[in-house]
Structure formats: C-alpha cells, structure tokens
Amino acid sequence: MGVTTKRIRIDVGLGRKKADLVIKNANIVNVFTKEIIKGDIAVCNHLIAGIGDYEGVNEIDANGRYVCPGLIDAHVHIESAMVSPAEFAKAILPHGTTTIIADPHEMTNVCGINGIHFMLNQARDLPLNVYMMIPSCVPATPFENNGASLNFEAMEPLVSVDGVLGLGEVMDYPSVLQGEGNILRKIDLFDDKIIDGHSPSLGGKALTAYRAAGVMTDHECSTVEEALERLRLGMYVQIREGSAAKNLETIVNGLLEKGINFQRCVFCTDDKHLEDIRSEGHISANVKKAISCGVDPIEAICMATINAAQCYRLKRLGAIAPGYSADLIMLKDLKSFSIDKVFYRGQVAADANTSINIPVVLEDKNVFNTVRLPQITADDLVLRLESETATIIRILPHELVTKKERKKVTLQDGLFIPDQNYSKLAVIERHKALSNIGLGIVSHFNIKNGAIASTVAHDSHNLIVIGDNDPDMLLAVQEIKRVNGGYTIVSKGKVVDTLELPIAGLMSDQPAIYVESKLKTMIQEAYKLGINPEIDPFITLSFLALPVIPEIRVTDRGLFDAVDFKFIEV
C-alpha cells in the first residue's frame, strides 16, 4: 500500500486533510460493540480513515440513515445463477452483497483447471470482492463420470494465487474418514488456509474425526441439532437460504430457543436463481428472515459481515472502522433492511438512480462445446424390473435430501410405466460420450405429458432428464445436444422452450435479464405439466444426481444409496 498512502490516511484520520469521501450524519452499525454510533464516515483511497466529525472533497449526507458493512456470502456457486460472474455481480450488488466466497466446482467438474482459470479471470476487475475456494472433490465421488479430475498436483500451484482463500467443500467425507491419501494430501496442502466442509447427517465420532482432519465450516445443516453439534466442535455454521435448500428458519429458531449465540454463524446462499435474487434479495434476504425470526438486527448483520470476514480471515472486510474497506450499505431502517445505496471501496456501486455497467468479455473458448453424447435411442431409456415393487426416490419439498422408499409401480411386459405419481429419471454421461445411462424412479415430482432435461446436474453435470414417457424424454435429450447444454421442456412431441447454456452447459453468455425472463417463463411452463408446486422443477432435478447428499440418487452409473455409499437395484 505504501508509506505515502498511509501518511495521507493518518492525516485524514487526524482531520488535517480532507477525506476523498465523507458520509455525513450516519447511524453507523458497529459490529464490534453491537451498538449504533452517530457520526461521519471518512474514506481515503478506498479505506475508511475515520469515524466521527470529518470533512470531505465529496460528501454524501446520510440524513440519519443507517450504514452497515457490505454483506458477505460465505459460500456460493456463481454457476448456479447461470450467468457470467460480471452478470452475477450486477444482480447481487443492488442487494448489498459486496463480497462472495465462490466455489467453482461446477465449472471445474466440467472443464477442470481451465474452468478454474476461467472463473478467476472473469472475477477480476469487478466492483465486487470475489474470493475463490479450490474445489476439493473433482469428481465429487468415484461413483460417477465427470468431465475432468483435479488432483493434488494440479492444485498445488493454485494455493498461492491471489484471491484463493482455501479448499472448497470436502464432500467426500467417507474418504476422509477412511484416511484415504489423496483427499488428505489436498487437505494438508491447505492446512494454513480455510477448509470448507460438506457433511449432511454426519455426527458423533465421525463428525469429530472430520473436524480433526481440519474441516472448519459446514453449510449442509438442516436441523438445529446438526448445527449445534458443529458449533460445539468449533466449526462455523454457514446458515443456508437459497432457491432449493431453505434451512435458515429451522436453525435460527432452534438456536434462539436454546439460547445459543450466533458468533460462529454466517450466512450463505449456496445456489440461488436470478429471479429469487431479484424478488427476495441475496444475503439481504437471509438478514431479513433472521430478523423476522426474532434475531436482533445488529446480530443478523454481524452474521452477514464480521462473522464471515473473521471465518475467512479477511482482515479489511466486515466492519466499519479505520483501516477497513469502504464497502458499505446505506439503509432506511434496520428492521426492514431496505437498501438505499451500496458502496464498494468508497464508490457508489448501486442505488435506485444508477444502472450498473460492467463489461462482459467471454474470450475463453475452452469452456464452450462441452456436450458430447453418443447416439441415444428410445431403447436406452427402457427400465426393466423383475417385480412390481421398486426402489423409489422420494422428493421432499424445500430440501435437498431425499428419502428411499419401496413402492408398488406399474409394469407392462416387465417394463416400468411412468404415471403422474412415479416419474422416470435418466442420467446420461455427456462429457466423453461413454454411453453410460443410469435410470431411476422418482415420486412427488408429478410431471405429466412431457419431460424436462438439463446439463446442470450436480456435481458432475451430466445430462439429466425426467418425464412420464420415453418419446418426450428422448426429444429433450436431443434438444439439449442441439443447443450444447441448457434447460429444455418438451410436451407431447414438441419442444416447449429451451434456455441455452453454452458455457460448460452451465452458464449463459446472455445478460442476466434475458436468463431471468426466460427461466421464469420456463418454470411457469413446467408447472403446467403438473409438476409439484412445492418444488422448483429445474433446481430439484439438478440435485437428483448428487451422490453425496442422502438418501438416494441416480448417477450415470445407476441408482445410488447415498447413505451406505453403494449402488443398488431399482
């Protein structure tokens, strides 16, 4: 930063020199003492130089409005918004998020090291702090085929890359508990950095051992008991409220009832669609929901700011104090958390009268043309059963976890016949044209007279399709192949609509407004096919292939028990 710059900041702090910017007459949220301080905020060269009574070259009168630190999303996959990092920044900045901790394991599972460099390059020069966690599990498990592998040797040069904070969510906890050398070498490589966790339903000595290996966080808590057990082990709990998984109310209410403080709780979205961001907010939605649950507004702000900054060792973020970055939010009041202006490094990044202009440059062709399929026929989608009683994947509303059940289904000549209660699911390997197809049966999806398909299928992102008849399912597969990745809806032999996602089959090269509008229309069309209104059709579908979340999934290799970690018969 330089001695000269420090001298100038000292002069500003002492009042000997005017600040570059002063926000006057503010009610300042102090996250250290959890009180409101009345005064001015002096900004010098993008850092805060003083709190008190100051003059600036430029001044903005807060007129008694509240000012709090910019919000931090402690765990997010940018790819899940299906737009480039620049378009994602445009979407979340008006909602007060000025820092994200991104895990690019979606891109990495498709494109490997090229995917990481694409995301790092795209994140540079944005009016947003974008930090990266290096994906730990690419592939997520050995039970599926993905587009690339990221081994210990490939990771090693990334440890010292600017903006890399640590190791991304360690999903393969069975390998950790078995002491498998490859995953332990990755954890050891980041021993001096942050190691994110992913351990749904893990508890007791298994969780203790997982923590002892070095894992520091977890965003997969769906009950207060899971959250409390992790807090007692000194872990940070990333309280998640996204588009599919909504765990905040359960965890926050539970911790309030038990009188547990929130010092080691932070907020994250994990995966959130653009329309939900626009209508609900981003991390601001987490703050508002926590307040509605009875959390003190300043405490909720702490979870969204200083707690996350301390967790990820971001020493200049998360607070309004001298030496901290001038990433700020101006609010009309704390309880409604209505945002008036957003500042990034002392500059107005978003307000009601400013359109955000961030150029989008997509020059890296290594992440395009990633859908590689062999010839798929209707015979490939046939599901033969030896009995009318089959293993079913039961979907739960607003949850990523599923239930394994045994139910009686309809057979004709030994073939499973889908109906409104039981849908057919197929996962097709799409990276290397291996001809692998896994099949399963899903309840509580309820699609009728059609099929939907996607190349967004966590975490290996093979092609996933669900429907109630094979011809529509096959047409959906062909449409996805034609557009080189994306979402599609098919009904009665016709393509209803398609959202093209040519960047790794995960992200659009179009503006966020186009993606949001198209997706909104497609979700409405999907519900016309009778799909369960308590689920998001595309997000729910995308997680049915993820073999690290209980209880049961389908990968391109077949039906998978995610509790016992083994393949099973339908």
Q: Where are the alpha helices (DSSP H) in 60-180?
A: 85-92, 105-111, 113-123, 152-155, 173-177
Structure-block tokens of residue 166: 């640590």
Would the pLDDT of 359 be above 80? no
pLDDT of residue 565: 87
Q: Average of pLDDT values for 507-519?
A: 94
pLDDT tens track for 540-552: 999 999 998 899 9
- Cα dihedral: 59, 62, 64, 67 (round 10): -110
Band of pLDDT at residue 397, cut at 50, 70 and 90: confident
pLDDT of residue 358: 81
Rounded Cα gap, residues 281 and 258, in angstroms: 28
Would the pLDDT of 72 be above 80? yes
**Residues listed for the chain:** 570
Measured N-to-C along each axis, helices 224-232 and 248-258 cross at an angle, to the nearest 10 degrees, of 60
Band of pLDDT at residue 353, cut at 50, 70 and 90: low
Rounded Cα gap, residues 340 and 329, in angstroms: 7
Rounded Cα gap, residues 302 and 32, in angstroms: 9
Rounded Cα gap, residues 466 and 460, in angstroms: 17
Rounded Cα gap, residues 248 and 232, in angstroms: 19
Q: What is the pTM of this model?
A: 0.91
Q: Residue 382 carries which side chain, given as an amino acid letter?
A: V
Which domains, and CATH codes, for the chain?
Answer: 71-313 (3.20.20.140), 368-567 (no CATH)
Give yes or no for a contact between 351 and 342, defined as CB atoms under 8 angstroms apart: yes
Q: Average of pLDDT values for 158-177?
A: 94
pLDDT of residue 120: 93
pLDDT of residue 427: 98
Would the pLDDT of 356 be above 80? no
| Residue where the block lists tokens 């694409």 | 118
Percent pLDDT > 70 in the chain is: 99
pLDDT of residue 474: 98
- Neighbouring C-beta atoms of residue 249, cutoff 10 Å: 15
Would the pLDDT of 133 be above 80? yes
Band of pLDDT at residue 521, cut at 50, 70 and 90: very high
| Residue where the block lists tokens 């940070």 | 236
Least confident of 98-107, 238-247, 516-525: 238-247
Rounded Cα gap, residues 349 and 551, in angstroms: 43
Rounded Cα gap, residues 107 and 115, in angstroms: 5
